[in-house]
C-alpha cells in the first residue's frame, strides 16, 4: 500500500507530510478495531524476544526518537510491529524549534536533512499523552533534551527535571546530548561536561527508581561525528556512571558525496549516507567496551541487510526513522522476519 501513498506524500513539504502521517496514525490508535487490524497485518509471524537494559523487548526493532516528538501517536505506532517506541526529544518547557523550512528530502540519496531544533510541547503535554494512550504492553523510551535557552552550565538541571517527571512513565530514558541542531549541545558529550552531567542524572534516576520501586534504565545518544579519542573518553565516563547503554548514532553534519540539490542545507543528515558511518561507530563502541554497554543501532537502516550489519557490529537493538520515509511501515516486519 505504501508504494501508492508515497508519491502523494512526497508532493507535500516534508514536515507537512510527516504531520499528516503522524496525525493519521494517532487517529488509528484511538479506534480499537482498526488498531487491532493493523496489528494483525504488521506483527511479524515469528520474532525472538531479547533482554536488554533489564527489559524484555518482544523483538529487536524499535522506532527512533524524532518521529513522535510529543507522544501523540503511541498506540497507533505500537500496532506497526515495533518492539519498542522512543518518543521525544522532549524539553522541560515548550519551545518552537528552529524556523521553517527545516526538513528536506533527498530522494536521490535516500536521505533527509533536518534542522528541527527540538520543537516540543513540553514535558507536561507529552506525559499527558502517554497517560492517555500508551498501551500497557508497549516498551516506551522517552528521549530527553535541554531547552534551547538553557546555558550548558545549567543543562544538568533540565535533564534532572525531566528524569524526575518522566521516570514514572518510561521503561528507559534516552539522554540526547548529540543533536547538531541545538547550538552547543554536542559539547555535553565531552568529558569536561559529561562526568558532572551524568553523575547528576544518575543520582536523579536512583532517587526516582527508589521511589517507584523499579529501576528506570538510562541510555546516552551519541553523535557519529565525535572524534575517536573523545568518544573513548566519553565511553569511560559513561561506564563510570553506570549508564545502561548507548544509542549510536544521531544524525551527522558531514556531507559525503550527495546527488540531491538540497545537499548543502544545514542540519543533521540521516538515511542511507549514514549507514556505514553509524555501523562503524557501533563496532568501535562494542570493541572499546568489551560488549559491556548494550547498543541501540540507528542510522541508515533501509533493509534487513542494513539492520543485520548493525547487529553483527555489536548492537543489541536497532531503531528506524528515515528508512520508514522511503520504505514504509512494512519495513519493520520485513526486518524482524529476516534478521538473526
Catalytic residue check, 179: yes
Q: Which class for 256: exposed (0-12), middle (13-18), buried (19 or more C-beta within 10 A)?
A: middle
pLDDT > 90? residue 340? no
Over residues 238-254, the pLDDT tens digits come to: 999 999 999 999 999 99
188, 189, 191, 197 alpha-carbon torsion, rounded to 10°: 50
pLDDT > 80? residue 1? no
The beta-strand segments (E) located in 279-324 are: 295-298, 317-320
Report the CATH number that the domain containing residue 85 is assigned in CATH: 3.20.20.70
222, 223, 224, 229 alpha-carbon torsion, rounded to 10°: -80
Over residues 189-199, the pLDDT tens digits come to: 998 899 999 99
What is residue 46's predicted lDDT score, i.e. its pLDDT? 79
Over residues 300-337, the pLDDT tens digits come to: 999 999 999 999 999 999 999 999 999 999 999 999 99
User: Could you tell me if 219 and 174 are in contact, meaning their C-beta atoms sit under 8 angstroms apart?
Assistant: yes
Cis omega before residue 89 (within 30°)?
yes
The Cα–Cα gap between 7 and 3 comes to 7
Tell me how many domains the chain contains: 1
What is residue 216's predicted lDDT score, i.e. its pLDDT? 96
Region 280-298: mean pLDDT is 97
What the block records as the C-alpha cell of 162 is 525531566
Q: Which domain holds residue 323?
A: 2-338
- Neighbouring C-beta atoms of residue 263, cutoff 10 Å: 18
Region 257-286: mean pLDDT is 98
Query: Which position among 78, 120, 133, 179 bears the catalytic label?
Result: 179
User: Could you tell me if 78 and 86 are in contact, meaning their C-beta atoms sit under 8 angstroms apart?
Assistant: no
Indicate the average pLDDT of the chain: 97
pTM > 0.85 = yes
What is residue 192's predicted lDDT score, i.e. its pLDDT? 81
pLDDT > 90? residue 45? no
Per DSSP bridges, beta strands 268-271 and 245-248 are unpaired
Amino acid at each position: 500500500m505504501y508504494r501508492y501513498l508515497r508519491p502523494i506524500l512526497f508532493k507535500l513539504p516534508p514536515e507537512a507530510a510527516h504531520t499528516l502521517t503522524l496525525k493519521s496514525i494517532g487517529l488509528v490508535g484511538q479506534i480499537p478495531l482498526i488498531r487491532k487490524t493493523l496489528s494483525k497485518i504488521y506483527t511479524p509471524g515469528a520474532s525472538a524476544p531479547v533482554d536488554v537494559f533489564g527489559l524484555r523487548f518482544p523483538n529487536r526493532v524499535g522506532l527512533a526518537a524524532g518521529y513522535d516528538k510529543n507522544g501523540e501517536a503511541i498506540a497507533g505506532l505500537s500496532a506497526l510491529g515495533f518492539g519498542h517506541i522512543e518518543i521525544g526529544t522532549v524539553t522541560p518547557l515548550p519551545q518552537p524549534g528552529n524556523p521553517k523550512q527545516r526538513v528536506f528530502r533527498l530522494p536521490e540519496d535516500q536521505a533527509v536533512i533536518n534542522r528541527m531544533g527540538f520543537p516540543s510541547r513540553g514535558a507536561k503535554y507529552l506525559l499527558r499523552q502517554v497517560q492517555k494512550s500508551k498501551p500497557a504492553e508497549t516498551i516506551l523510551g522517552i528521549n530527553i533534551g535541554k531547552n534551547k535557552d538553557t546555558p550548558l552550565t545549567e543543562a544538568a538541571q533540565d535533564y534532572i527535571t525531566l528524569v524526575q517527571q518522566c521516570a514514572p512513565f518510561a521503561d528507559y530514558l534516552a539522554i540526547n546530548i548529540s543533536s547538531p541542531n541545538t547550538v552547543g549541545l554536542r559539547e555535553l558529550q565531552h568529558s569536561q561536561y559529561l562526568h558532572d552531567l551524568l553523575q547528576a542524572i544518575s543520582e536523579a534516576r536512583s532517587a526516582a527508581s527508589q521511589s517507584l520501586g523499579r529501576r528506570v534504565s538510562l541510555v546516552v545518544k551519541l553523535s557519529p561525528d565525535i572524534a575517536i579519542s573523545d568518544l573513548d573518553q566519553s565511553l569511560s565516563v559513561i561506564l563510570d556512571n553506570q549508564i545502561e547503554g548507548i544509542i549510536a548514532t544521531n544524525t551527522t553534519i558531514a556531507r559525503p558525496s550527495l546527488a540531491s540539490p538540497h545537499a548543502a542545507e544545514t542540519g543533521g543528515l540521516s538515511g542511507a549516507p549514514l549507514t556505514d558511518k553509524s555501523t562503524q561507530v557501533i563496532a568501535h563502541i562494542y570493541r572499546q567496551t568489551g560488549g559491556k554497554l548494550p547498543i541501540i543501532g540507528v542510522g541508515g537502516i533501509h533493509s534487513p541487510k542494513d539492520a543485520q550489519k548493525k547487529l553483527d557490529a555489536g548492537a543489541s537493538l536497532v531503531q528506524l526513522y528515515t528508512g520508514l520515509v522511503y520504505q514504509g511501515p512494512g519495513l519493520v516486519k520485513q526486518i524482524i522476519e529476516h534478521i538473526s
